[in-house]
């Protein structure tokens, strides 16, 4: 049996009803969202269900959307069924003032360092992570550099006008 996007969507909606939402096909990958406290339930279901079998965590990262008040930080999981090479993407959103997300490192060993990376750059607090410390940056750093409030260009420069040169 082939694993179609419709089948995955029905299966998830059958299990979680309105707890999973915003199913959208981004190019070739089915993307959906779930409330932040629900992420482990969905991930466990995707991993354990015999028909779905998303046992491989391909990628995990975070994105900062400063304009989405109350859900500024997104954590993006990309899972793959290694047999059928089907991929899906799961997003959870969390407020930046209390960015608590349950860790997936007990389900996927891959997530261990990827979550440390997301913590290092975005400050996502992965609750239950065995070793949530900075991985790339120095330990003394007291900010999260990939957040959008830290522009790359030096702020004292006036010769580069954003109106003229884009973002």
Partner 1 sequence: MSQKQNIQLPEGSVEKQTTTLNLGPTHPATHGVFQNILEMDGERIVDAVPTIGFIHRAFEKIAERRPYYQITTLTDRLNYCSSPINNMGWHMTVEKLIGATLPKRVEYLRVIIMELARIADHLVCNSVIGVDTGAFTGFIYVFEFREMIYEIFEEVCGSRLTTNMGRIGGFERNFSDIAFQKINNFLKTFPKAMKDFETLFNRNRIFMERTMGVGGISAERALNYGFTGPNLRACGIDYDMRTAHPYSGYQDFDFSIPVGTTGDVYDRFLVRNEEIWQSVSLIQQAMTKIADLDPTIYHADLPNFYLPLKEDVYTKMEALIYHFKIVMGETELPVGEVYHGVEGGNGELGFYLISDGGRSPYRLHFRRPCFIYYQAYPELVKGSMLSDAVVTMSSLNLIAGEIDA
Q: What is the contact surface with partner 1 in residues (CB under 8 A)?
A: 26-27, 29, 31, 55-59, 61, 63-64, 76, 78, 82, 85, 87, 89, 108-110, 112-114, 117, 121, 134-137, 145-146, 152-153, 165-167
- By the 10 Å C-beta count (0-12 exposed, 13-18 middle, 19+ buried), 133 is classed as exposed
15 or 49: whose CB is closer to partner 1? 49
HSE-CB for 110 with a 13 A CA cutoff: 12
> Residue 34 and residue 57: Cα distance in Å, rounded?
17
Query: Residue 88 has which token pair?
Result: 């899906």
Q: Which is nearer to partner 1, 55 or 125 (CB)?
A: 55
Q: How far is the CB of 9 from partner 1 (least distance, A)?
A: 18
Minimum Å distance from CB 138 to partner 1? 8
Q: Looking at beta carbons only, is 29 or 40 nearer to partner 1?
A: 29
| Alpha helix ranges (H) inside the chain | 5-16, 39-48, 111-122, 162-165
- Residue 45 DSSP SS3: helix
Q: How far is the CB of 112 from partner 1 (least distance, A)?
A: 6
Which of 94, 112 has the CB closer to partner 1? Answer: 112
CB neighbours of 49 closer than 8 A, spacing ≥ 6? 11
Least Å distance, CB 4 to partner 1, is 16
For residues 22 and 127, what is the distance between their CA atoms, to the nearest angstrom?
A: 25
Q: Which is nearer to partner 1, 15 or 113 (CB)?
A: 113
> Cβ of residue 14: shortest distance to partner 1, in angstroms?
26
């Amino acid at each position: 049996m082939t694993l179609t996007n419709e089948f995955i969507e029905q299966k998830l909606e059958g299990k979680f009803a309105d707890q999973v939402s915003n199913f959208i096909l981004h190019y070739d990958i089915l993307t959906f969202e779930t409330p932040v406290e629900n992420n482990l339930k969905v991930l466990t279901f995707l991993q354990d269900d015999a028909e779905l079998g998303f046992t491989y965590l391909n990628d995990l990262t975070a994105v900062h959307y400063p304009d989405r008040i109350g859900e500024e930080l997104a954590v993006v999981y990309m899972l793959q069924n290694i047999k059928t090479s089907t991929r899906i993407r799961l997003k959870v959103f969390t407020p930046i003032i209390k960015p608590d997300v349950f860790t997936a490192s007990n389900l996927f060993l891959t997530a261990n360092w990827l979550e440390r990376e997301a913590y290092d750059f975005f400050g996502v607090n992965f609750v239950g992570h065995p070793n949530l410390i900075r991985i790339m940056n120095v330990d003394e750093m007291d900010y999260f550099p990939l957040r959008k409030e830290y522009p790359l260009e030096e702020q004292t420069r006036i010769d580069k006008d954003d109106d003229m040169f884009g973002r």
